[in-house]
A and B are shown apart, each in its own frame.
Chain A
């Protein structure tokens, strides 16, 4: 099977944190221990929704050294494809679900002298695990966390209570914004920058850091893309000799999996590169949405990342 190794788990607790965000806690059904992980890792949760298998990646936000349980905090997206809504509305304590082993595409660079973390909204989740990891090793870190308002400040109270000197909160509705240029400008040599939040925030912070001459090695960010709905299209899988119709609200990868073809994947969010697939023939326009392929690969029309990218045209033949 593709993807990271799987773990059967039971939902042991569901905690509503605010209007949008709920925490789900899991224990292994076999009673064993989970693997430890490194802060920033995510898990892919597999949910049976009728005939549909939903697979969504979420950052693990529990303590990386806690092998008794894993937790994720999920923001409800009313406009998405329904994965987070399904979790919020249908998953109950005691349900059996499947998690993947942790995969980290947003790890700390432990050579850093200081870790400067910038979070926006639900982008706080990987930092919660990283902070627990750094606290254990007495790491030097500082968090700047921007939220919409007090009531949507997920984990703000916990963070302020446990780390009053290292946590800075910014409330949008109070016109309270991160002064990013001054913040970046004053950082000591050896600082590494980490950003997790909406795309606009990542682009803004990475842009300002680059303007100030920050080396790319010291800038880390994570943006999970959710596959976007789009016009249905047809794809021929050459190696498996199948023709697959990709529906409006499913991704190309999901359609391939639905037809029983074991396609590689890890992050399902356009970041890790695992699902990269060669195009044999194409007559139409690619809708590339990933962060993985180089611009020239995207223009060449020879490669596609089926987890988030789509196609609009007459013929698409993939080497899968």
Chain B
């Protein structure tokens, strides 16, 4: 104990390293992070559980099941991913035009 960890890189990479470091027993307060590189989000599709990396469009198409997903701000530390939820479940095909995040 007493180990300090410093993580730097994209949000997705930091999130996954943070998750594994915490699982190894390092409290999150002993881990410093610094964002570097692209801004895309690491998204988990809540329907098929597949991960799509580097998402910069909202909504986007799940790279696993093909559903149109809304990019939520709901983040899971356990999964190291944001939550993507089907945007046209009630009215299939009614999909708003994608906007670029972090413009």
- A contact set with B: CB distance below 8 Å: 111-113, 184, 187-191, 193, 209, 212-218
Q: Are A184's CB and B29's CB within 8 A?
A: no
| B50 beta carbon closer than 8 Å to chain A | no
Name the interface residues of B17-60: CB closer than 8 Å to any CB of A: 24-27, 29-30
| B1 beta carbon closer than 8 Å to chain A | yes
Which residues of B are found within 8 Å of A187, using beta-carbon distances? 1
Q: Are A191's CB and B4's CB within 8 A?
A: no
Given A189-B24, A190-B24, residue A213 in contact with residue B1 (CB < 8 A) = yes
Q: In the docked arrangement, what's the CA distance between A214 and B3, Å?
A: 8
Our pick among B4, B24, B25 for the contact of A213 (Cβ within 8 Å) is B4
- Using CB atoms, name the residue of chain A closest to B1: A214
Q: Are B30's CB and A215's CB within 8 A?
A: yes
Which residues of A are found within 8 Å of B4, using beta-carbon distances? 213
Q: How far is the CB of A209 from chain B (nearest CB, A)?
A: 8
Q: In the docked arrangement, what's the CA distance between A22 and B3, Å?
A: 42
Q: Are B29's CB and A215's CB within 8 A?
A: yes
Which residues of B are found within 8 Å of A193, using beta-carbon distances? 1
Q: Are A113's CB and B1's CB within 8 A?
A: no
Q: In the docked arrangement, what's the CA distance between A309 and B2, Å?
A: 35
- Interface size of B by CB at 8 A reads 10
Q: How far is the CB of B100 from chain A (nearest CB, A)?
A: 39
- Using CB atoms, name the residue of chain B closest to A112: B25
- Using CB atoms, name the residue of chain B closest to A214: B1
Q: Are B1's CB and A215's CB within 8 A?
A: yes
Q: Are A218's CB and B27's CB within 8 A?
A: yes
- B contact set with A: CB distance below 8 Å: 1-4, 24-27, 29-30
Q: Are A217's CB and B2's CB within 8 A?
A: no
- Using CB atoms, name the residue of chain B closest to A213: B2
Give the number of residue pairs across the A-B interface with Cβ within 8 Å. Answer: 38
Which residues of B are found within 8 Å of A112, using beta-carbon distances? 25
Instruction: Kindly list 5 other residue pairs between chains A and B, CB separation below 8 angstroms, not including A189-B3, A216-B29, A217-B27.
Output: A184-B1, A188-B25, A190-B25, A190-B26, A212-B2
Which residues of A are found within 8 Å of B25, using beta-carbon distances? 111-113, 188-191
- Using CB atoms, name the residue of chain B closest to A219: B1
Q: How far is the CB of A301 from chain B (nearest CB, A)?
A: 32
Which residues of A are found within 8 Å of B2, using beta-carbon distances? 212-215
- Using CB atoms, name the residue of chain B closest to A184: B1
Residue of A184, A193, A209, A213 with most chain B CB atoms under a 10 A cut-off: A213
- Using CB atoms, name the residue of chain A closest to B21: A189
The 9 closest A-B pairs by CB, nearest first: A190-B25, A213-B2, A217-B27, A189-B25, A215-B27, A215-B30, A113-B25, A212-B2, A214-B1
Q: Are A189's CB and B1's CB within 8 A?
A: yes
Which residues of A are found within 8 Å of B26, using beta-carbon distances? 189-190, 215
Which residues of B are found within 8 Å of A188, using beta-carbon distances? 25
Q: In the docked arrangement, what's the CA distance between A184 and B4, Å?
A: 16
Which residues of A are found within 8 Å of B1, using beta-carbon distances? 184, 187, 189-191, 193, 209, 212-215, 218
Q: In the docked arrangement, what's the CA distance between A130 and B30, Å?
A: 27
Which residues of B are found within 8 Å of A190, using beta-carbon distances? 1, 24-26
Q: In the docked arrangement, what's the CA distance between A213 and B29, Å?
A: 12
Which residues of B are found within 8 Å of A217, using beta-carbon distances? 27, 29
Q: How far is the CB of A224 from chain B (nearest CB, A)?
A: 26
Q: In the docked arrangement, what's the CA distance between A209 and B1, Å?
A: 9
Q: How far is the CB of A111 from chain B (nearest CB, A)?
A: 8
Which residues of A are found within 8 Å of B27, using beta-carbon distances? 215, 217-218
- Using CB atoms, name the residue of chain B closest to A217: B27
- Using CB atoms, name the residue of chain B closest to A211: B2
Q: In the docked arrangement, what's the CA distance between A191 and B27, Å?
A: 11
